[in-house]
């Protein structure tokens, strides 16, 4: 046996690694949580994994999930949500602040970190909500350990999390240096137009109620206010053609997220087939908007993909529209759905890696993440591009137990998830115990 200095924790053999320079068939040697070599000559390992015929991606990061804990655990939990993430090939998540209690203060963040410790199957960080109550303290709050940044709801929220006042938005943007994540819908217009949904009681009217102008008004406003403050933004779940046209001219200050459901489902078909299971905020829209989103992906306007995993129970979703809640599961299906798009020729595997691995690491300053290279984190996602699998509700780990993709066959499947050089999921089975830990952000590089 070679000396102990040449003993690795894991060697992944014969896989096609997606490196910054392109696909390379190689062995990956992992030790002490890092990739230490791309050639296994002279190395032995405690564990080996044969990746022949598989592609090895930098670990997938889902930068928008709602895991509902604390307070709403009948819909989702940190344990079930992160287990679903791991089964879907996701190595890290950023979780949102609209829980009960809301995540507004250090004690709220610490409570979530305590809940995740020993229960999370993948790595994690938590957003703190930007609100009138804490606006002047956000500079300190955004740098707390385990904080993914500040999230602002300009519409579609409740209580202290809803920020539809320009002066409050200015105060939020004036305090802090990190990118601010934004849900951009104009609350006044949504209230004004809710009568459309109330009158019809038909979920097909969801994109008419929450129309393109509702999104565009809010996006224009926050871009203007951020320019005044010199602050960078991260626009979440962009869903309209007009927003993409606007955002293309503001890439120096604004990063852009789209979701798999906006790239995959279309109105009116999804509402006919799924009813309120397709109900999301902002809505799934028609093919005109979807085509604009795909064009923005191809043009580089889009920086990341996030699932916006936001589950509700089937009983809640069955309420008469518009009293049915908006949200669907997504973290577990993010990668299978997008790999199917890769196989259909809608985007390349290299581009997908940039959207789900390199992009989130770059935007949010996650050192060591998002690339396969010596010295980088050994958080990896192994996929079989040739596997054809049927997604069904029984596979979904979420407490809510359903997916809008139930019954859909996809080509491309995550077969193993590696956390810091340890096999955490293999062949649709998690390998215990939970190994998730808080993400660490690079304080020296956070953008102004």
**pLDDT (tens digit, 9 = 90+) per residue, 250-297?**
999 999 999 999 999 999 999 999 999 999 999 999 999 999 999 999
Q: Is residue 48 part of a domain?
A: yes
Dihedral class, residue 38 (left if φ above 0, else alpha if ψ from -120 to 50, else beta): alpha
HEC letters along 102-120: CCCCHHHHHHHHHHHCCCC
Same domain, yes or no: 338 and 411: no
Domain co-membership, 224 together with 245: yes
User: Is the domain of 320 the same as that of 421?
Assistant: no
Q: Which among 92, 87, 91, 124 has a CA at the least distance from the CA of 426?
A: 87
Q: In terms of domains, do 30 and 79 share one?
A: no
**pTM across the whole model:** 0.96
- Higher per-residue pLDDT: 448 or 201: 201
Question: Which CATH number do you get for residue 158?
Answer: 3.20.20.140
Statement to judge: residues 50 and 77 lie in one domain: no
Is 297 domain-assigned?
yes
**Residue 385: pLDDT over 50:** yes
Same domain, 150 and 239: yes
- Looking at the fold, whether 141 and 84 belong to one and the same domain comes out as yes
Residue 157 lies in a domain: yes
Q: Per the domain annotation, does 446 fall within a domain?
A: no
Q: Which residue range forms the structural domain that includes residue 33?
A: 4-56+373-391+404-430
Question: What is the mean predicted confidence (pLDDT) over 363-378?
Answer: 97
Task: Verify that 204 and 148 share a domain, yes or no.
Answer: yes
Structure tokens at 355: 């959207």
Return the pLDDT at 159: 78
Structure confidence at residue 384 as a pLDDT band (50, 70, 90)? very high
Q: How does pLDDT run across 133-186, given as a tens digit for each residue?
A: 999 999 999 999 999 999 999 987 777 899 989 999 999 999 999 999 999 999
What percent of the chain is predicted at pLDDT more than 70? Answer: 98
Asked if residue 443 has pLDDT above 90, the reply is no
Residue 440 is assigned to a structural domain of this protein: no
Query: Which pLDDT does position 156 carry in this prediction?
Result: 77
Average pLDDT for 40-63: 97
Structural domain includes residue 264: yes
What is the pLDDT of the chain when averaged over all its residues?
96
Residue-level pLDDT at 432? 86
CATH of the domain at 385: 2.30.40.10
Tens-digit pLDDT profile for residues 313-338 = 999 999 999 999 999 999 999 999 99
pLDDT of residue 3 exceeding 60: no
pLDDT (0 to 100) of residue 2: 46
Count of domains observed in the chain: 2
- Is 43 contained in some domain? yes
Q: Do both 198 and 77 map to the same domain?
A: yes
pLDDT for 446 equals 46
Asked if the structure places residue 280 within a domain, the reply is yes
Rg (CA), the chain: 21
Asked whether residue 38 falls in the same domain as residue 66, the answer is no
Asked if 260 and 222 count as a contact pair (C-beta separation under 8 A), the reply is: no
Residues 140 and 281 grouped into a single domain: yes
Q: Exposed, middle or buried by CB within 10 Å (0-12, 13-18, 19+), for 138?
A: buried
The answer on 68 and 45 residing in a single domain is no
Classify residue 41 by burial, with Cβ atoms within 10 Å: 0-12, 13-18, 19+.
Answer: exposed
Asked if pLDDT for residue 428 goes beyond 80, the answer is yes
């Amino acid at each position: 046996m070679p000396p102990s200095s040449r003993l690795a924790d894991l060697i992944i053999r014969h896989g096609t690694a997606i490196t910054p320079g392109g696909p390379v068939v190689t062995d990956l040697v992992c030790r002490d949580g890092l990739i230490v070599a791309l050639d296994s000559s002279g190395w032995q390992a405690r564990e080996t994994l044969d990746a022949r015929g598989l592609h090895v991606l930098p670990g997938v990061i889902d930068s928008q999930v709602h895991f509902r804990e604390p307070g709403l655990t009948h819909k989702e939990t940190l344990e079930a949500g992160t287990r679903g993430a791991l089964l879907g090939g996701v190595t890290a998540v950023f979780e949102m602040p609209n829980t009960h209690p809301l995540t507004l203060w250090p004690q709220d963040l610490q409570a979530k970190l305590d809940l995740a410790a020993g229960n999370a199957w993948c790595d994690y960080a938590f957003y703190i909500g930007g609100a009138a109550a804490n606006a002047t303290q956000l500079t300190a709050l955004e740098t707390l350990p385990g904080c993914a940044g500040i999230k602002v709801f300009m519409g579609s929220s409740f209580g202290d999390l809803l920020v539809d006042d320009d002066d409050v938005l200015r105060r939020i943007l004036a305090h802090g240096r990190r990118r601010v994540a934004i849900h951009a819908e104009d609350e006044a217009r949504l209230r004004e137009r809710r009568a459309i949904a109330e009158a019809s009681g038909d979920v097909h009217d969801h994109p008419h109620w929450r129309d393109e102008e509702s999104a565009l008004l809010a996006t224009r406003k926050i871009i203007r206010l951020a320019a005044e403050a010199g602050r960078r933004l991260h626009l979440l779940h962009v869903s309209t053609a007009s927003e993409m046209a606007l955002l293309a001219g503001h890439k120096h200050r604004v990063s852009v997220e789209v979701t798999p459901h906006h790239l995959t489902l279309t109105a009116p078909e999804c509402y006919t087939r799924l009813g309120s299971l397709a109900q999301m905020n902002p809505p799934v829209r028609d093919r005109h908007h979807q085509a604009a989103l795909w064009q923005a992906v191809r043009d580089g306007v889009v920086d990341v993909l996030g699932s916006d995993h936001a589950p509700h129970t089937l009983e809640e979703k069955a309420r008469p529209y518009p009293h049915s809640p908006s949200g669907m599961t997504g973290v577990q299906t993010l990668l299978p759905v997008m790999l199917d798009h890769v196989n259909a020729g809608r985007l390349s595997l290299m581009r997908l890696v940039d959207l789900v691995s390199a992009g989130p690491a770059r935007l949010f300053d996650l050192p060591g993440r998002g690339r396969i290279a010596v010295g980088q984190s050994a958080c990896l996602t192994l996929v079989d591009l040739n596997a054809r699998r049927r997604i069904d509700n029984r596979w979904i780990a979420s407490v809510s137990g359903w997916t809008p993709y139930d019954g859909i066959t996809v080509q491309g499947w995550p077969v193993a998830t590696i956390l810091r050089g340890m096999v955490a999921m293999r062949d649709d089975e998690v390998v215990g115990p939970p190994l998730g830990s808080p993400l660490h952000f690079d304080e020296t590089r956070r953008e102004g």
